[in-house]
């Protein structure tokens, strides 16, 4: 039996429609969008346009031209961070951030360009809003916050952070890599200026696709210059979106798959997927909580969280447990630091990290049961 | 003679196509002829006999699109 419980890294399997859409593009009309005027190029351009429109609807972006396609959330976050911040700016982040935020900021800091402070989080991973407020300086240009924690499953109160930003005239950048497709996001209501998402997790697209959504008045300098299919006789790169941030041929294979992935979850209903997955996660947590040796991190079972559970087992190293689960039981999970050292420091699992089980919309109750029993067997066997 | 609608970006061409089709117009998309513009590689071609230009202008401007209209033989 093979059980895939690493959906927070990338979701698997993908809906059949995703594979079909990708195959159809490659087999039937694989042209380059926006580059030529022939039938295949136009069909591809329509597909890209419709995907932007769907994404704009999903996050409440005012205009679909402000939906930028990128390779993943990491590229999107780098575009926003390096393309907006200037020398002397100050930034505030949370203590749950992923390396895709921490590292670009650390780089800019080391170059002598920006300073940043880190708002405390409690042991469940929730950001301390009063501490965040107290860190605001006259030079604070941006607050960056992870929406859902890939380590602890914590979902941050982004509407409150958005309100804090608005009140203080600060830009709000949200890392929605883990929540896109799982938690509804409204950039208008939640005062989000810029949102980074990735397509291969809970939007069920293929790896290699993601993007950036922004409000009307955001001016991001591009890091990459090149061909766009527009203003082709000019040496200067165009200023208008989306071309400004999309030099080079975009990943149309990824776009067609992403579109089908979003259509799949919208058809199933994002709320109903969340409800099912939350129940399955809660069951999983309750069973794990019965095992004396197991410590569960993050929000309590009755609190809203992502469908992932990070644990540690007394006197066991997460990587050994993951190897046993994989080799002896066919259960695939992720051990270790999950690209977020800050988050592990917040919840008290640094430096050993955690063993993370993460569910997707195709995870079955039987698979969860099997994972529970398998972990139990490993623990019981080794205690004998 | 045809009308050619020239936009800034491919995105605007796609948006205009969707809006105009929804409003019942007939059109096709072609590579923008070099002698007319190099703004965007694609443009929208419409036949004068079934195109009310004033209506086209209205639909597009109402939706925030900027464009130029050329007459091409
Ligand atoms: C919270 C968070 N932010 C950012 C990322 C980066 O996403 P990607 O690897 O698709 O760029 C991930 C996942 O890897 C993540 O979990």
User: What ipTM was estimated for this complex?
Assistant: 0.93
Edge-to-edge strands, sheet with A308-313 = A294-296, A308-313, A354-358, A334-336
Q: Is B10 on the interface with A (CB under 8 A)?
A: yes
| Residue A180 near ligand 1, beta carbon < 6 Å | no
Q: Is B72 on the interface with A (CB under 8 A)?
A: no
| Poorest-pLDDT segment among A36-45, A162-171, A329-338, B36-45 | B36-45
Taking residues A125-141, report their average pLDDT: 98
Atom of ligand 1 nearest to the CA of A198: 10
Confidence band (pLDDT; 50, 70, 90) for A229?
confident
Of all residues in chain A, the one with the smallest CA distance to B32 is A37
* Percentages of chain A per state (helix, strand, coil), in multiples of 5: 40, 15, 40
Domain with CATH 3.40.640.10 in chain A: 16-267
Angstroms from A35 CA to nearest CA on chain B? 6
Q: In the prediction, which pLDDT does A343 show?
A: 95
Residues of A in contact with B29 (CB under 8 A): 37, 42
Kindly indicate whether the domain formed by B2-72 is annotated with CATH number 3.40.50.300: no
CA of B41 to the centre of ligand 1 (A): 34
* Interchain pair A34, B29: CB under 8 A: no
Q: In the prediction, which pLDDT does A233 show?
A: 82
Confidence band (pLDDT; 50, 70, 90) for B21?
very high
For the record, the structure tokens of A231 come out as 């203003």
The span from the first CA to the last CA of chain B, in angstroms, equals: 4
Q: In the prediction, which pLDDT does B41 show?
A: 83
Check pLDDT > 80 for residue A183: yes
* Domain A3-12+269-382 CATH class label: alpha beta
* Interchain pair B11, A243: CB under 8 A: yes
Q: In the prediction, which pLDDT does A381 show?
A: 87
Q: Is B66 on the interface with A (CB under 8 A)?
A: no
A154 vs A126: CA distance, rounded Å: 7
| Residue A150 near ligand 1, beta carbon < 6 Å | yes
Residues of B in contact with A238 (CB under 8 A): 9
Cα dihedral A121→A123→A125→A128 (10° resolution): -30
DSSP codes of every residue in B2-55:
EEEEE-SSHHHHHHHHHHHHHTT---EEEEPPTTT--SBSEEEEE-GGG--HHH
Taking residues A13-21, report their average pLDDT: 98
Q: In the prediction, which pLDDT does A384 show?
A: 65
| Residue A73 near ligand 1, beta carbon < 6 Å | yes
| Poorest-pLDDT segment among A115-124, A150-159, A188-197, A232-241 | A232-241
| Residue A66 near ligand 1, beta carbon < 6 Å | no
| Residue A195 near ligand 1, beta carbon < 6 Å | no
Longest dimension (CA), chain A: 75
CA of A323 to the centre of ligand 1 (A): 23
Q: In the prediction, which pLDDT does A34 show?
A: 86
In chain B, what are the domain boundaries?
2-72
Task: Name, in order, each residue with C-beta under 8 angstroms of B69's C-beta and a sequence gap of 6 or more.
Answer: B3, B4, B5, B6, B53, B56, B57
* Interchain pair B41, A36: CB under 8 A: yes
* Interchain pair B41, A34: CB under 8 A: yes
Q: In the prediction, which pLDDT does A361 show?
A: 98
| Residue A371 near ligand 1, beta carbon < 6 Å | no
Task: Name, in order, each residue with C-beta under 8 angstroms of A182's C-beta and a sequence gap of 6 or more.
Answer: A148, A202, A270, A273, A274, A277, A306, A307
pLDDT in tens, B22-51: 999 999 999 998 888 777 789 999 999 988
pLDDT in tens, A101-131: 999 999 999 999 999 999 999 999 999 999 9
Angstroms from A116 CA to nearest CA on chain B? 36
CATH number of A16-267: 3.40.640.10
- For all residues of chain A together, what is the average pLDDT? 97
- DSSP 8-state code for residue A141: E
A205 vs B60: CA distance, rounded Å: 33
Angle of helix A365-383 relative to helix A318-329, nearest 10 degrees, comes to 120
Instruction: Kindly give the pairing relationship between strand A194-198 and strand A210-214.
Output: antiparallel
Query: In percent, how much of chain A has pLDDT > 90?
Result: 95
CA of A105 to the centre of ligand 1 (A): 16
Pick from A82, A69, A65, A127: nearest CA to A247: A69
A interface test, pick of B2, B41, B65, B67 with most A CB neighbours within 10 Å: B41
Taking residues A236-263, report their average pLDDT: 96
- Cα-based distances in Å from A20 to A25, A49, A128, A205, A304: 9, 19, 45, 12, 34
Of all residues in chain B, the one with the smallest CA distance to A48 is B11
The helix (H) or strand (E) run that includes residue A91 is strand A90-94
Question: Across-strand partners of A332?
Answer: A4
Number of residues that make up chain A: 384
Domain with CATH 3.90.1150.10 in chain A: 3-12+269-382
Q: In the prediction, which pLDDT does A364 show?
A: 98
Instruction: Kindly give the pairing relationship between strand B42-46 and strand B28-31.
Output: antiparallel
């Amino acid at each position: 039996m093979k059980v895939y419980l690493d959906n927070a890294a990338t979701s698997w399997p993908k809906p059949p429609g995703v594979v079909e859409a990708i195959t159809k593009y490659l087999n039937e009309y694989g042209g380059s969008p926006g580059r030529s005027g022939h039938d295949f190029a136009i069909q591809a351009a329509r597909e890209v346009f419709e995907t932007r429109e769907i994404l704009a609807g999903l996050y409440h972006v005012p205009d679909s031209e402000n939906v930028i396609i990128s390779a993943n959330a990491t590229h999107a976050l780098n575009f926003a961070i390096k393309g907006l911040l200037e020398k002397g700016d100050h930034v505030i982040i949370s203590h749950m951030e992923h390396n895709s935020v921490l590292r670009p900021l650390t780089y800019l800091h080391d170059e002598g360009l920006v300073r940043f402070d880190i708002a405390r989080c409690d042991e469940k991973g929730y950001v301390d809003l009063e501490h965040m407020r107290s860190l605001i300086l006259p030079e604070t240009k941006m607050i960056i916050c992870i929406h859902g924690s890939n380590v602890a499953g914590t979902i941050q109160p982004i509407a409150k952070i958005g309100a804090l930003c608005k009140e203080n005239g600060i830009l709000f950048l949200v890392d929605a890599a883990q929540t896109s497709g799982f938690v509804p996001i409204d950039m208008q209501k939640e005062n989000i200026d810029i949102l980074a998402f990735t397509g291969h997790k809970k939007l069920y697209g293929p790896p290699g696709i993601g993007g950036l959504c922004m409000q009307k008045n955001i001016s991001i300098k591009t890091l990459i210059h090149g061909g766009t299919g527009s203003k082709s006789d000019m040496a200067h790169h165009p200023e208008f979106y989306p071309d400004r941030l999309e030099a080079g041929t975009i990943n149309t294979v990824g776009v067609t798959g992403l579109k089908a992935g979003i259509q799949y979850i919208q058809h199933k209903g994002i709320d109903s997927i969340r409800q099912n997955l939350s129940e399955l996660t809660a069951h999983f947590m309750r069973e794990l909580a019965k095992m004396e040796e197991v410590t569960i991190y993050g929000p309590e079972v009755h609190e809203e969280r992502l469908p992932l559970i990070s644990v540690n087992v007394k006197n066991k190293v997460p990587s050994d447990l993951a190897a046993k689960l994989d080799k002896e039981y066919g259960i695939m999970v992720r051990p270790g630091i999950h690209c977020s050292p800050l988050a592990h420091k917040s919840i008290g699992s640094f430096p050993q990290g955690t063993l993370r089980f993460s569910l997707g919309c195709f995870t079955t109750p039987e698979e969860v049961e099997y994972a529970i029993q398998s972990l139990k067997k490993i623990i019981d066997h080794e205690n004998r | 003679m045809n009308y050619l609608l020239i936009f800034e970006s491919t995105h605007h061409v796609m948006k205009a196509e969707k809006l105009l089709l929804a409003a019942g117009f007939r059109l096709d998309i072609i590579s923008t002829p070099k002698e007319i513009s190099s703004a965007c590689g694609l443009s929208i071609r419409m036949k004068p006999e079934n195109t009310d230009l004033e209506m086209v202008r209205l639909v597009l401007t109402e939706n925030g699109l900027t464009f130029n209209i050329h007459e091409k033989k």
